[in-house]
Each structure stands twice: as structure tokens, then as C-alpha cells.
Amino acid sequence: MSEVILTLKREIDIKLEADVITPDSFADKNAEEIGSLPIWQGPKTYPLSDFFEVKGNGGSSAAETLIRIKGDVMRVKRIGEGMSAGKIEIEGSAGMHVGSGMKGGEILVSGDADSWAGMEMLGGLLHIKGNAGDHVGCAYRGKWHGMKGGRIVIEGSARHQLGGGMDGGEILVEGNVEGFCGIRQNGGVIVVKGRALRGVGAEMAAGTIVIGGLIERFTPGFEYTGMVDGLTQGGVELTGEFKKFTGDYAISKRAKGVLYAAADANPEL
């Protein structure tokens, strides 16, 4: 696999739109050609090399291309957007829309990720070692269908509307989530090992959500169906007893969503 190294030259004031930073765009190009690819800053385009030092050449295909980004790129948006193969390793934090619409390959973020990470993702792996912002794996504004495939792993916590409109795929959060996790979920699996704030599974029609900690304000449209001893969801084994609910019946009497809540952490449910 050929490696391209991008190193930030300076601090970024106005955020960059850099959807060209993908193995698909870099494949079969040398460092000079990669550096000439256009990125947006406000209303103007600039060559990638104005902001990044570029070393190395792309591989013969996207699958044979590794992009290593050195430095904090929290102010660089759309890295890995729509990528189909290959790998991106970000040695710091990533900006908004990292991995949006990605179809395959792998993105590893060593730090945090801003909002809309993995938006409308179709395939591949997005692995965030830190925390993530709002709308991970979500549908974009005005759309109903979010993530359809692939896997998102967040080793820290995530904020609001994780997996909103999710149709398929898997999301694993090792930490906590805030409001409306799985809102309008239509399929796929969300596993949160920590606690959730409120609105879990609101307007959910199908799919599965597992919450391993306290749900602070439970969504009223769910119906208790029984206890389950241990779970395996999204490739993750969870021990202990879980209360099983179905819903969200506040939206439809035919809803097929399944919500599991850890029994020990939720004695009042």
C-alpha cells in the first residue's frame, strides 16, 4: 500500500472544505498532482498544497492508497467523504462530516470528531478514538434516511441524535450519548455502553438500540415485553440482565423497533 503524508503548514482560520482528501482522489497521482487538487475556503478554491505539505504518491488504486494526516484537522471538513476503499489515518482530531457517505475502506481518527461524522454512511469502518459531536451516522437536514451500512466505533462519548434516521449498519459507543439517540431509526444496530440523556428511540420504526447505563428520561412510546439475560448485538457481547421494550408506538402501532436497557442501571423502568 502506497502512503501519502499530509502535514498542516499553519493554523486554519476559516474552515476548509476538503472532500478531495480521499484514497479515490489520490490514487494514481504523484505528490505534485495531489497538491494541486482544489479545496474550498469560504467562496474561493485553493490548491491543497497551500495548506498541507504533501509527501508520497498515491497507489495504483484507492484500495492501495493510505493517507496519513499529521496535525489537528478539526477545522478541515469532509475528509474521506464518499471514499470507496483504502485507508485514512488522522493523527489528531477531525472536522465536520469526516467519513460522510463513505462506501468502503477505513478511517481512523486518533482524537475527537466534530458533528456529522459518518453521515449517510454506506459501508466501511469509521473508528474514532476520542469523542464525537452531534448527528453521527445521521440523515442530512431535510432527509429521512441516514446511515445504511458500515460500522462506526466511538471509544469516547457522542452528543445528540446519534444514528438519526439510521437504516442499517452498526454504531458502537463505549461512553455516553445525549439526547434523541436513534431518533427515527428504521434499521441497523446502536450499542451504547454508557448512559443516555433522553428521547432514546423517539419515532423509531425498526432496528435495535442497546443502552448499557441509565436512561435519564425514558421515551413514553415504548412497551415493556420482558427480560433478557445477556446480549450480543453489533458484534458486541454484553453481560447482565436487560429489559426489552418495543416501539415507538407513539408514532405507529406497527412499529418494530427494539430497545434494550440494562436492568441494574434502570430499576424504575
Please tell me the predicted confidence (pLDDT) of residue 79.
Answer: 98
Cα–Cα distance between 125 and 161 in angstroms, integer?
A: 20
142: confidence class by pLDDT, cuts 50, 70, 90? confident
Cα–Cα distance between 25 and 171 in angstroms, integer?
A: 27
Residue 34, pLDDT above cutoff 90: yes
Q: State pLDDT tens for residues 71-108.
A: 899 999 999 999 999 999 999 999 999 999 999 999 99
**How much is the average pLDDT of 123-144?**
95
Q: State pLDDT tens for residues 148-204.
A: 999 999 999 999 999 999 999 999 999 999 999 999 999 999 999 999 999 999 999
Please tell me the predicted confidence (pLDDT) of residue 72.
Answer: 94
Please tell me the predicted confidence (pLDDT) of residue 195.
Answer: 98
Pull the grid cell for residue 78. Answer: 469532509
8: confidence class by pLDDT, cuts 50, 70, 90? very high
Beta bridge pairs of residue 215: 196
Please tell me the predicted confidence (pLDDT) of residue 235.
Answer: 85
Please tell me the predicted confidence (pLDDT) of residue 56.
Answer: 98
**How much is the average pLDDT of 128-153?**
95
Q: State pLDDT tens for residues 220-267.
A: 999 999 999 999 998 889 999 999 999 999 989 999 999 999 999 999
136: confidence class by pLDDT, cuts 50, 70, 90? very high
Sheet containing 16-17: order of strands: 44-47, 38-41, 16-17, 76-77
Please tell me the predicted confidence (pLDDT) of residue 141.
Answer: 83
Residue 253: what are its φ and ψ, rounded to 5°? -75, -10
Claim: this prediction has a pTM higher than 0.85? yes
Cα–Cα distance between 32 and 27 in angstroms, integer?
A: 13
- Residue owning grid cell 478511517: 107
